[in-house]
Amino acid sequence: MGCGQGHSQTLVPQVNPGPVETSGQDSVPGIDEFSVHKGHRYFTVIIDPESRRPVWIGQGRSQQVVEPLFKVLKRQGIHPLAVAMDMWNAYTKSLMEHFPMAAIVYDRLHIITNANKVLNEIRRLLRRTETGSARHQAPQAHAPDSLKKAGKN
């Protein structure tokens, strides 16, 4: 489903630093990004966990994009105990600056993806090590007959 340039402006508003309606202090909001126009234009969305509806949308996915939101939350007296998000460093850094006591709940998909990347790198390193060890042992395993006879004397 494509979205033309004119339509994206009506579907996704500009950064809205106005009041944010959340389920309250104990809710765990979610922060995520999505792209419009095949990854060329990003937006950040804050989702209320109980209603599962967006409560705030900002253009871009940088730390500067979420700064106004966190300032508004502070002014409203909302200090989330935890925030669900992916492992995008800009979101983590900004959250820790504004709400250092908030727990970060990383997205399961990103944790699994990163764990698989690490496992694949370990497998590659092990293959290289095994291949290197096998190369060094191969000459000993296939020693010429003259060397074998020399050892018997």
Q: Give the tens place of pLDDT for each residue, 94-118.
A: 999 999 999 999 988 889 999 999 9
In a domain, 65, yes or no: yes
Q: How many domains does the chain have?
A: 2
Contacts of 103 (CB under 8 A, 6+ apart): 81, 82, 83
In a domain, 120, yes or no: yes
In a domain, 11, yes or no: yes
CA distance 25 to 134: 60
- pLDDT value at residue 121: 95
* 69-97 tens-digit pLDDT: 888 888 888 888 899 998 889 999 999 99
- pLDDT value at residue 37: 79
For residues 100 and 114, membership in a common domain is answered with: no
CA distance 24 to 49: 10
How many CA atoms within 13 Å lie on the side-chain side of 75?
11
| Containing structural domain, residue 128 | 108-137
